[in-house]
Amino acid sequence: MEEQLHKIRHSASHVLAQAVLRIFPEAKLDIGPSTDSGFYYDFDLPHKFTADDLVKIEAEMKKIISENQKFERFTLSRAEAEAKIKELGQEQFKLGRLADVPDGDEISFYQNGEFCDLCAGPHVDYTKRIKAFKLLSIAGAYHRGDEKNQQLQRIYGTAFESKEDLAKYLEQMEQAKLRDHRKLGKELGLFTIVDRVGQGLILWKPKGAILRQSLQDFILELLRKQGYQQVFTPHIGKLGLFRTSGHFPYYKESQFVPIVERDDMARMASEKLDVASFEEKVENGDVQGFLLKPMNCPFHVEIFKSDPHSYRELPVRLAEFGNVYRWEQSGELNGMTRVRGFTQDDAHIFCTPEQLDDEIQGCLDLVKAVFETIGMRDYRVRISLRDPASDKYVGDESNWEKSEAAIRKAAKSLGVPFTEEIGEAAFYGPKIDFVVKDVIGREWQLGTVQVDYNLPERFDLSYIGQDNKPHRPIMIHRAPFGSLERFTGVLIEHFGGNFPTWLAPEQVRILTLNDEVIPYADSVFKKLRDAGVRVAMDDTAEKLGAKIRKAETDKIPHMFVIGKKEAEAGLLSIRSRIKKGFEGQHSVDEAISLITSDISSRSLPDGF
């Protein structure tokens, strides 16, 4: 985010808190940062915010801005800061935030008008610099993001440097509401989430399963051309496997609680262990048990290790649509795009150092082919690197340097903008993430490619080189979709549910004008089905106009209309979802040829 926009949004969050205190003086303040899309502030308040309150708060914010208050910064000692927070009556959360400031760091406050807040800044000079803002929504948020803590009320807003930019963003938001995959997924019968099954766990309905299978078939076709081999692995594995890989404990906070063996559970029950003692025994390895797999990679490592390998056999490319499970807090779950159980289009490549550059390039080509096919050609690249000062990373420093050099070289070869983010690497290696723009300009992080020298070391992998001596392979992790759930959610919104024919769960709908033509329509239906076309028939007594509107609402790509004239002549009339008009009469064979050609070409709808 540009520095000036960051200042505007951060300043708007202070004005929001100031306005809330003017209307609700009893409110207790927690935190109010700027974000990539706007700003928010968290409040503890007996009164539950409503949409009407947002209108009042926004009006008060405009009044504050018109007062052109100056943002003034001042610093205090820790003791003075504690006294100031108590004077403001905001010790409930602000004293905890003050404790977050490391000893020796400067403690600063910002004052504008009567409002004063513990804050590191920066801010604009005067409130009138906030020229274009809008409050957007109210949500619940746990203090410090921990569901064990008190739940607060969060008000979201956004701000821009100009009213034109704000209007453009708000229009994008309206488009996003219309394209919301949760809304369209329900309307189109693609998926459901049921509390009795579990939040964050997707139930794919028949139409959604067709969409998913079409994506899998598409990527499998590309994988076969690149020499991948398909594998299947269990949903759980021993804790020892994940201790070796480093996922347990390095990835512990994102995992489900381990599944303890019955004998251990009975033993611990007889010892009357409390929860903390139980967790300590699991942590120390005194209790074994199993883990719902958070990653597929340790399983693929073991498959590679199960056979001896010569350099002549490398690279070995193992691919799997593997289900993995991650513990996400309930407040972070979001339809298909943030879930607790998902399917990765995962693959791991084991190669020699000499093969590394070519294999990374093959992975990048695969990701680019996916984006090109779905019409997401506008993307940037993000390189995630290790933070040398952090202890969350494993492995030898020289291996990190080699893998980061390989990642940088690959990113440069793409010829698109890329940024480097320190501290965002996986604990075992650096990665390239693809951040793509959808049709209405929103960004999504999708495909990823990672280079890993560490897991081969931790699992003692080897191959026999030309010198007849064992050598350590290099491992590449890659997932063009990322996860089928998230990718499908993004696709639903990208296309607004108007999928290209090859992805559409229902590709053709036959519309009959009367009962007399149903026998002929049945014969057309069978021919289409035999040709591999996903077809349905609307032979209800509704009028043609109503049937067309229903097909358009259901977002069916093609309609074949059959009346008495068509049946007598052995023809049918084609109407397309996009063109919204009849495209003339065709023989059945011609119509089938047009549809199958559209499917095989994977052409995009108009406008993509």
Asked if 348 is an active-site residue, the reply is yes
Measured in whole angstroms, how far is the alpha carbon of residue 405 from the centre of its chain? 27
Asked if 297 is an active-site residue, the reply is yes
Q: How many residues does the chain have?
A: 608
- 3-class state of residue 416 by DSSP: coil
CB 16 within 8 A of CB 39: yes
Nearest to 479 by CA among 253, 353, 295, 227: 295
Q: What is the DSSP string of 255-283?
A: SPPPB--HHHHHHHHHTT--HHHHHHHHH
Q: Cα dist. 352→309, 426, 431 in Å?
A: 11, 21, 19
Q: What is the phi-psi region of residue 204: left when phi exceeds 0, alpha when psi lies from -120 to 50, beta otherwise?
A: beta
Say which residues have a Cβ less than 8 Å from residue 140's Cβ, sequence separation at least 6. 151, 152, 153, 154, 331
The H or E element that residue 28 is part of is strand 28-29
Q: Cα dist. 565→65, 230, 310 in Å?
A: 69, 51, 69
Nearest to 201 by CA among 271, 256, 130, 265: 256
H helices then E strands: how many in the chain? 20, 26
CA distance 429 to 385: 8
CB 513 within 8 A of CB 531: no
Catalytic residue among 18, 69, 344, 507: 344
Tokens (6 digits) for 528: 């289409």
CA distance 182 to 534: 24
CA distance 257 to 245: 17
Asked if 344 is an active-site residue, the reply is yes
What DSSP character marks residue 604?
Answer: P
Asked if 326 is an active-site residue, the reply is yes
Catalytic residue among 143, 181, 326, 386: 326
Nearest to 251 by CA among 220, 288, 285, 292: 292
Q: What is the DSSP string of 177-225?
A: HHH-HHHHHHHTT-EE--TTT-TTB-EE-HHHHHHHHHHHHHHHHHHHH
Of all residues in the chain, what percent are helix, strand and coil, respectively (each to 5)?
40, 25, 35
Catalytic residue among 7, 348, 494, 547: 348
Asked if 387 is an active-site residue, the reply is no
CA distance 15 to 128: 11
Catalytic residue among 7, 10, 154, 477: 477
Cis ω on the peptide bond leading into residue 122 (within 30° of 0)?
A: yes
Q: Cα dist. 78→90, 281, 482 in Å?
A: 15, 40, 46
CA distance 454 to 404: 13
Cis ω on the peptide bond leading into residue 249 (within 30° of 0)?
A: yes
Catalytic residue among 134, 386, 431, 558: 431
Catalytic residue among 346, 433, 538, 554: 346
Catalytic residue among 14, 117, 293, 297: 297
Residue whose entry in the numeric block shows the structure tokens 């009469």: 585
Q: Cα dist. 82→95, 103, 107, 447 in Å?
A: 7, 14, 10, 47
Strand partners, 509: 536, 559
Catalytic residue annotation: 297, 326, 344, 346, 348, 431, 477
